[in-house]
A and B are shown apart, each in its own frame.
Chain A
């Protein structure tokens, strides 16, 4: 329903120039350069420069965890098929995290602190365009106020910036710069839906029956049948939610085991170069990789990110 006035503006759109194919080729080359941007394979093994010891990501419930890696064939008679190994490893992972300490819902004024290493990060402050993006082994610390009204971050040990979270970019005070790039506000549905309170309530409210859980996530992610979005949504939960209840965490591992194309490899590295078990999904022609701690089976990170530590604190800027 485009009406008269708008149609009139449509008719006076500038004449189309024939598009320069050179421009397309140059743009493609620029994008292509991003694809091959720092791959950890060629870099020396990461040893973070900041010397602090990492916080443990959750309580180590080594309980029954066979301190080994991937569950190998149990009887030693017939070799396990890769599918068996995947199912058994994810079941062991689920059983291990399930007995972990309960997670309590933080108070609305508390903050969820995460220390991570990212492949890319937007700089804080008044920087725009390509200069705003830092590449390669960027240390990012984030504090998200549990009630989703504010977040704070420090990039590369820099100054702490506290930003308001607004429902849409347009609802920020107009004198602030583009929140996708920097400035005093961030917002939009993608951000709002992933604030700790929303994430916590969503994840804690998921079914704990693996089949029901898988059906729910397939539905919520709008998956069209290849499970790419489903696995992507699960990976996003692990990436963003530092407060996954043990039962939900276990159910997510069991749901992953039900997805065709998910397999487990006994060694993988997160972005900080730490070794763990890799949960790999290569359906739909592409993939996701989650790295789990070999002993606790907690999520450690992915080839693009490493979660170095997290905890609930009482103020932005507080680390422990």
Chain B
């Protein structure tokens, strides 16, 4: 193969920048510069601006440290970054759940529901209002992660499959289930019950 002229590194694909960053860490800046806004925006949607800053920053740090394991046959790093962000969001919620349980022990009256779920519901409700929160609350964490990568991060099915390390077939069947649940939920909401749940 011929010598290629020195490439304009700003044009390099993510996989090239990641490969290059093994020897020259600075090259990873390109991945950050290219995707920070988008990933951060998504994490804000999921967690709100206060928590999002830390989780988004951690996403890129984890990505950087794990870069040697990046699958270089994937030129676009977005699915990978979203996958890491999704894991950190889940972690964050588990940690939040644990924190709440400790608080709850200190103040028994405070507790009304299992906290992993309720903290998730509470965060979502603050951001979205009870209606959509209750709808998302009917999905499992795995279903919610998948749905929101598509609906809020605008990933394609293929990209979401990569982000979550799932076969495309699983993504399709899981979305099929999600759609059924959503259809039921959008159809039959009883506002009075929601008030009780989220007031």
Contact = CB atoms under 8 A, between A and B. Distances in A.
B141 to A, nearest CB: 9
A9 B37 contact: no
A35 B28 contact: yes
A17 to B, nearest CB: 5
18 contacts: A5-B179, A5-B183, A9-B151, A14-B48, A14-B128, A16-B45, A23-B40, A27-B40, A34-B61, A34-B65, A35-B26, A168-B164, A178-B91, A222-B75, A229-B15, A229-B73, A285-B27, A288-B22
A3 B179 contact: yes
Contact of B20 (A12, A129, A180, A287): A287
Given A24-B36, A27-B60, A5 B16 contact: no
B61 A31 contact: yes
Interface on chain B toward A: helix, strand, loop, or mixed SS? helix
Interface string A3-34: 10111111011101101100110111011101
B176 to A, nearest CB: 10
B134 interface: no
B188 interface: no
A18 B151 CA distance: 20
Contact of A23 (B53, B72, B132, B147): B53
A20 B57 CA distance: 13
Contacts of B148: 9
A224 B12 CA distance: 9
Given A26-B57, A232-B19, A285-B9, A16 B68 contact: no
B20 A286 contact: yes
Chain A CB count within 10 A is highest, among B15, B52, B90, B175, for B15
A51 interface: no
A10 B151 contact: yes
B9 A187 contact: no
Contacts of B65: 34, 120, 133
